[in-house]
């Protein structure tokens, strides 16, 4: 019989204090630190659902909407939004809390596609997902939409690459902030 697990089973939260060692030269938290924490929570959440080791295959857009400051407490809230055959999409909401001011800001939401692997390193089937709430259903449907849009984008990008003629398109650079010193 097919195995199914509820989305709530693998919901995972990772919380970490932003220490000075995580800051960039401007005093804000490095984007790479946040990405690394997101990858960690995506791994924990996906592995729990899959019951297997997982790898990251794709990250669907990371827009840092607001900077994170040293001293803030960042929480990564992760849940499995969608399952394919061997893939899972983990949605991660990142929030940052400033205790002194008593404020919480939403810094970004991203979607990590994780693939379950067996002991030989081959992609392996993951349990189906039981959708318990309206939000679970919405997230599953939105993940399908993003997948369709990504496939269209990939196809169009490939077409654009193969059909692009530099000699005929070079005029488009006229109003761009670049100087062409290359000549044919």
Ligand X SMILES: CC(C)(COP(=O)(O)OP(=O)(O)OC[C@H]1O[C@@H](n2cnc3c(N)ncnc32)[C@H](O)[C@@H]1OP(=O)(O)O)[C@@H](O)C(=O)NCCC(=O)NCCS
Q: Using CB under 6 A as the criterion, which residues of the chain lie in contact with ligand X when the complex forms? A: 55-58, 84-87, 113, 115, 123
Can you list the alpha helix ranges (DSSP code H) found in 111-181?
134-163, 166-169
Phi, psi of 2 (to 5 degrees): -65, 140
Of 94 and 114, which CB lies nearer to ligand X in the complex structure?
A: 114
Of 56 and 75, which CB lies nearer to ligand X in the complex structure?
A: 56
When CB distances to ligand X are compared, the closest residue is 84
* Residue among 102, 24, 112 nearest 61 (CA): 112
Query: At closest approach, how far in Å is the CB of 14 from ligand X?
Result: 16
* Residue among 107, 108, 111, 129 nearest 50 (CA): 129
Q: Could you give the CA distance from residue 133 to residue 138 in angstroms, rounded to a whole number?
A: 9
Query: At closest approach, how far in Å is the CB of 109 from ligand X?
Result: 18
* Residue among 10, 6, 4, 45 nearest 128 (CA): 4
Q: Are strands 103-117 and 128-130 parallel, antiparallel or unpaired?
A: unpaired
Query: At closest approach, how far in Å is the CB of 157 from ligand X?
Result: 13
For the record, the structure tokens of 67 come out as: 């900077």
Of 108 and 113, which CB lies nearer to ligand X in the complex structure?
A: 113
CA distances from 111 to 42, 64, 170 (A): 9, 14, 36
Query: At closest approach, how far in Å is the CB of 114 from ligand X?
Result: 8
Of 18 and 115, which CB lies nearer to ligand X in the complex structure?
A: 115
Of 18 and 78, which CB lies nearer to ligand X in the complex structure?
A: 78
Query: At closest approach, how far in Å is the CB of 161 from ligand X?
Result: 17
């Amino acid at each position: 019989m097919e195995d199914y697990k509820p989305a709530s089973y693998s919901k995972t939260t990772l919380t970490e204090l932003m220490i000075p060692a995580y800051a960039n030269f401007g005093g804000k938290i490095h984007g790479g630190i946040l990405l690394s924490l997101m990858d960690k929570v995506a791994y924990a959440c996906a592995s729990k659902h899959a019951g297997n080791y997982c790898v990251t295959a794709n990250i669907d857009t990371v827009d840092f909407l607001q900077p994170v400051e040293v001293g803030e407490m960042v929480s990564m809230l992760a849940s499995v939004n969608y399952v394919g055959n061997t893939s899972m999409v983990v949605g991660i909401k990142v929030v940052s809390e400033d205790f002194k001011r008593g404020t919480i800001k939403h810094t970004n939401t991203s979607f990590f596609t994780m693939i379950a692997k067996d002991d030989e390193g081959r992609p392996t089937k993951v349990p189906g997902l039981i959708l318990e709430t309206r939000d679970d259903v919405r997230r599953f449907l939105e993940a399908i939409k993003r997948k369709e849009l990504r496939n269209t984008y990939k196809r169009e990008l490939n077409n654009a690459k193969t059909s692009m003629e530099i000699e005929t398109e070079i005029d488009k650079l006229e109003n761009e902030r670049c100087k062409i010193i290359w000549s044919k």
